[in-house]
């Protein structure tokens, strides 16, 4: 297997994003992304403290919200650093 170089912006600018506290408020999520873009953010870490949202009941996993957040960030030119909860 041949390794491929990952092409990233010269400098990653962003922070830790915890959208799981606002899953019932898509307006807040949209405003968060608008403000990220305004601040020139190009990367966000997601999922660091999200275990309770990813596995709300033992053995039952919910990834749809995370997929949606990642898709929204990507659509707005923001890379995602996916954390392990």
**pLDDT tens by residue, 7-62:** 766 789 999 999 998 999 999 999 999 999 999 999 999 998 898 999 999 999 99
Residue 39 lies in a domain: yes
- Looking at residue 7, its pLDDT comes to 74
- Looking at residue 39, its pLDDT comes to 98
Residue 4 lies in a domain: no
Place of tokens 């659509």: 75
Judge whether residue 85 has pLDDT over 80. no
Is the distance from CB of 73 to CB of 81 less than 8 angstroms? no
Domains: count for the chain: 1
Residue 6 lies in a domain: no
- Looking at residue 13, its pLDDT comes to 92
How many angstroms separate the Cα of 82 from the Cα of each of 2, 46, 53, 56, 79? 23, 5, 15, 19, 10
The number of angstroms, rounded, from the C-alpha of 5 to the middle of its chain's C-alpha atoms is 22
Mean pLDDT, range 52-75, rounded to an integer = 95
Burial of 62 from C-beta contacts in 10 A (0-12 / 13-18 / 19+): middle
- Looking at residue 9, its pLDDT comes to 60
């Amino acid at each position: 297997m041949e390794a491929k170089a990952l092409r990233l912006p010269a400098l990653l600018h962003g922070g830790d994003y915890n959208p799981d506290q606002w899953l019932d408020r898509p307006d807040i999520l949209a405003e968060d992304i608008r403000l990220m873009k305004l601040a020139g953010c190009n990367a966000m870490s997601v999922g660091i403290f999200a275990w309770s949202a990813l596995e709300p009941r033992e053995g039952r996993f919910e990834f749809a919200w995370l997929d949606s957040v990642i898709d929204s960030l990507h659509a707005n030119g923001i890379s995602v650093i996916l954390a392990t909860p």
